[in-house]
Amino acid sequence: MGKVFVKYHVQGLQMFINISNMQESFKKGGGRKIGKTVGYARVSSREQNLDRQIVALRQFVPEEMIVADKASGKDFNRSGYQSLKVGIGKLVEGDTLYIKSLDRFSRNKEEAKKELQYFSEIGVRVKILDIPSTMINIEEGTGQEWILDMINNILIEVLSSISENERATILARQAEGIVAMPIDEKTGKRISKKTGKCIGRPPIQFPEHFGEYYQKWKSKEISATAAMKSLGLKPNSFYKLAHRYEAENGIAT
């Protein structure tokens, strides 16, 4: 039998791993306690679509057993993911968790390694579709399990570093884009070049009769608290509007 290699392309870096010595030991379900099979999918925002991940996961997991989140990958504080660790959906020894790619699991390298170590310690197998060596089953008791673990640990270290760097780059580009946006003179907010609208929350609008209550407050006919109550404003909003009213009407303070 000739040598067998698993080849990876990681952002232009080719990685070849010789698995010919282990080939005979790779058997589906080799020696492991049989448990449930679960899939996990994630996108960063509600506008993004989970379909591609779910289609890929359905090759290995029934759709009703796929857990999904629409949340950032910066940490693991996600309701879907946490359901895999507590309650009725908790993964236990002998279970298998399928993920499409490592960046769908997490974009934080250290946190990802901790979570993978947690699953390893409780006997849950994590299989990542985009890392073929994690998909291989090796028969326990052959003395070669450590080789597969070593390969997977190296790949996860490389890929999680890349994923974390990608997130840092995205955040840096977002910050640069925001700084480059023009500023609206009235609201002080940045204006999106794409939409022509201010980004962030819409500015607070003056409630009806604001000028009247402003004058009463300034002339000490009523207190600021009374003015806020009549206008239905919280203190922070009231004072912001007061400063804007003064600026727009050239009132010296």
Residue 222 lies inside a defined structural domain of this protein: yes
pLDDT greater than 50 at residue 147: yes
Picking from 4, 16, 32, 1, the residue whose alpha carbon sits closest to that of residue 151 is 16
Q: Report the C-alpha gap between 37 and 219 in whole angstroms.
A: 71
Indicate the residue among 141, 167, 193 that finishes a domain: 167
pLDDT of 123 reads 84
Are 63 and 162 found together in one domain? yes
Do the domain assignments include residue 14?
A: yes
On the question of pLDDT at 226 being above 60, the answer is yes
Length of the chain: 253
The residue with greater pLDDT, 83 or 189, is: 83
State the pLDDT confidence band at 142, using cuts at 50, 70 and 90: low
- Whether 225 is in a domain gets the answer yes
Structure tokens at 10: 């990681």
What 3-state class would DSSP assign to 121?
helix
Contact present, 237 and 203 (Cβ < 8 Å): no
- Averaged pLDDT, 150-159: 68
pLDDT of residue 239: 93
- The reply to whether 56 and 137 lie within a common domain is yes
According to the model, what pLDDT value does residue 1 have?
A: 42
Which of 167, 185, 219 terminates a domain? The answer is: 167
Is residue 26, in this structure, part of any structural domain at all? yes
Across the range 46-66, mean pLDDT stands at 93
Distances from the Cα of 203 to the Cα of 47, 98, 184, angstroms: 24, 45, 11
Amino acid 159 reads L
Mark whether 142 and 240 lie in a shared domain: no
In a domain, 22, yes or no: yes
Rounded Cα distance between 150 and 19, Å, is: 12
Instruction: Give the containing element (helix H, strand E) for 5.
Output: strand 5-10
| Same structural domain, 135 and 229 | no
Q: Which of 20, 25, 44, 106 is catalytic?
A: 44
pLDDT in tens, 22-53: 333 333 444 445 689 999 999 988 889 999 99
Residue at 200 is within a domain: no
What CA–CA distance (Å, rounded) separates 30 from 203? Answer: 62
Q: Is residue 183 part of a domain?
A: no
Residue type, position 2, single letter? G
- Domain tally for the chain? 2
Query: pLDDT tens digit string along 95-140?
Result: 999 999 888 888 787 888 888 888 888 888 899 998 887 887 766 5
Q: Which long-range contacts (CB under 8 A, 24 or more apart) does 64-70 make?
A: 65/36, 65/37, 65/38, 65/39, 66/38, 66/39, 66/40, 66/41, 67/38, 67/39, 67/40, 67/41, 68/40, 68/41, 68/42, 69/40, 69/41, 69/42, 69/43, 70/42, 70/43, 70/44, 70/45, 70/46
Residue 223 vs residues 96, 219, 227: alpha-carbon distances, Å: 65, 10, 6
User: Is there a catalytic annotation at residue 72?
Assistant: no
Assess if residue 138 is contained within a domain: yes
In angstroms, the CA 156 to CA 161 distance is 8
> Which of 133, 167, 201 is at the close of a domain?
167
| Residue 215, domain extent | 210-248
Whole-model pTM: value is: 0.53
Answer for the pair 40, 68: CB distance below 8 angstroms, yes or no.
Answer: yes
Same domain for 48 and 161, yes or no, is: yes
Check whether residue 156 and residue 68 sit in a common domain.
Answer: yes
Based on the domain organization, do 148 and 230 belong to the same domain? no
CATH, residue 99 = 3.40.50.1390
One domain for residues 159 and 89: yes
SS3 26: strand
pLDDT of the residue at 120:
84
H/E element holding 99? Answer: strand 96-99
